[in-house]
Amino acid sequence: MLCPHCNQKIPNGSILCPKCGKSIQQSSGKKRLPILICVIVIVITAAGSSIFFWLNQPKEKSYQELLNSAEHYLIELDYEQAETLYLEAIEIEPSELEAYLSLYELYVNNNEVEKAMSLLEKAKEYIAGKDEIEKIDIKLAEL
């Protein structure tokens, strides 16, 4: 048998090499197995936790989803919830006219003329298109 460190021939049954003094018992990898298992468990736990938190984080609704939900609440006659959703949609896309006009109609139908006028004035600050501004001006003239 040869020493794995210095390649000196050593007698069978020896624990130490007579030349270099190092242990000649070769590690069988059994010492590494528990460490490897711990690393695998930690990686799987971290991945599982990441997936869990990613799946459970609140999802931000898109502009169109907010408009659709608001219209649903209008049908259900829940005007406060519809107003809240229209305002959220306006926050997400302040340059889109649709949410302003829908909220305007809600205000007018509920005799909240001041809110309707204020909303359309705010819309004019964000809306860039000439056609959209003309629509806003027409709605303002109706009030």
pTM, two decimal places:
0.55
Mean pLDDT, consecutive 10-residue segments, the chain of 143 residues? Answer: 84 84 67 84 92 72 91 94 94 91 93 91 84 82 79
- Residue 127 neighbours by CB under 8 Å, 6+ apart: 95, 97, 100, 133, 136
Q: Which long-range contacts (CB under 8 A, 24 or more apart) does 17-21 make?
A: none
The reported pLDDT for the residue numbered 27 is 52
Q: By the 8 A CB rule, do 7 and 16 touch?
A: no
